[in-house]
A and B are shown apart, each in its own frame.
Chain A
C-alpha cells in the first residue's frame, strides 16, 4: 500500500504516490457515498469516512497524545478522507516541510502510526461493508422487493434523494457558499487542504447520482433497471410530462454550470460565491423534481404514520 511505502521511506516520491492514491480513493468514494444501506447504514460508514470540516486541532492532539479510539462518535471529524487530506497537504506549505513531520525524531513515529491507523481503519470498514454486501445483504436486498417502508426500493430511493439533497447540494455546494449562514465559509469545502480537486469531487459525485438515476453501470456502458426506467413505465399510463427528461435535463444544466466553477471551490467561494449559488439553485430544482414529482409518482413516503390521504 502507498501509505505503508510512505511511512517506511518518507520521501517526496512516496508522498506524491500516496497523494495520488488518496485522490483515487476519494474519487472512488464519490461513486458509492450515496449507498447508505445495509452494513454501511448500520455502521454509519459515511460518518467515519468523510465528515468535514476536519477538526484539525483536535486531531493533532489525538495523534500526539496517542491511545485514541477511532470508533468513538467524538472522533468522527478527526478521521477519514479529510484527515488524510490534512496529513498529506495541510501540515505545511511545501512537500519537503510536510515530510519533516514524518521524519521528526520525536513526533515522526506518532504521525506515521496515526496515518497508518487511519488508512487501515478506512480499509477495514469499507472491506466489512463490501464482504457483507457480497455474502449477505445483496441477497436480502433483492428479496425485499415489496413497497413497504423497510423494503429495498423505498430505503434506496430515500437514501439516494437524501444524499443528493444533504451531501451534494448542501454539503458540497450550499454550505461552503454560505447559503445557510449569511457569509461564505471557505473552510467547509471538501478536500480544502488539497484545494484544487473539490470541483472534481463534486463532478464525480454528480455523475454517480445521474448514472444511478439512469441505471448506467459503474464499470462501463452497460445499463440496467433504473429510476428513469420506472418513471418511463409509470408514465405510459398517465398524462404527466416526461419527468425523466426533466431530471436528466436538469442534471445537464447543473453540469454546464459546474464546468464554469474554479477547480478549487474554496477559491470560487471567495472570488464569486454567486457561481456557487447558481449551482445550488439548479440542484434545488432537481430536488423538487425528485422529491416532489418522482416520489409522488412512485408513491414512496418519507414518513410512515396513520393518514387519511391528507
Chain B
C-alpha cells in the first residue's frame, strides 16, 4: 500500500516537473509554445465539441485511428502467433522462415507506405487497406519474434521426458510449447499494438482518409495558428497508447495468475 502511494507521488512529481519546464519554455519565449492551461482548455473543449475546421471532436478522430489499428494488428496477431509457435518449436522451419523475416524486419513500417498504395490499388478502399497493411507490418514482426522466443524457451528436459513417456508431437505442442509461449504472446500483442499505433498516426499524416488523429494534426498544422490543437492531438495519441498498453498488461497479469 505504501509502495503504491509512493509510486503515485513519484508520478505526480514527474508530471508537475514536465508542466513546470513547459511553463518555463512558454514564458521565457524560447519557443512559441502555448501555455499548458490553454492547451488543457482546448483539449477538453475539442474532446467532445466538434473542432470547427473538420467538424469532428477528438474522440471521433481517436475512434477511427483505434479502429484501424485494431483491425491491422488483429490480422497480424492471427498470423504471427501460430507462426511464432511453429518456428519456435521446429528448428528447420525456423531457419526457412527467419531468413525472410530478418530481411523485412528492419524495414520501418513507414517505408512501406508508397508500396502499400501501389499494392492495394485494386481494392475498393485502397487508402484504408494500405493503412491497415502498414499497421500489420508494424505489429507483425515484434509479435512474431516475441512468441518465437518464448516458444523456443520451452524446457527441453520437459519435452524429452514427455517423449520418454510416449507423448506425440501434438501433445507436446499442446501441453508444453503453447503454455510456455503464452507470456510471449501477450508481450507480443502489447509491443505489436504499440508499434502499430505509432505507424497508423504517421500513415494518416501522409495520405488522407478524412479522419484519424494523424490527419487531424496535419490539417491543424496546415491551417496554422493551432498549436493548442496540435498538442491536444499529441496528448490524445499518448493517452490512447498508454491505455492500450495498460489493458494488455492487466490481461497479462490476470492470465499469468490463472495459469
- Answer yes or no: are A and B bound together in one complex: no
Binding site for B on A (CB under 8 A): none
Binding site for A on B (CB under 8 A): none
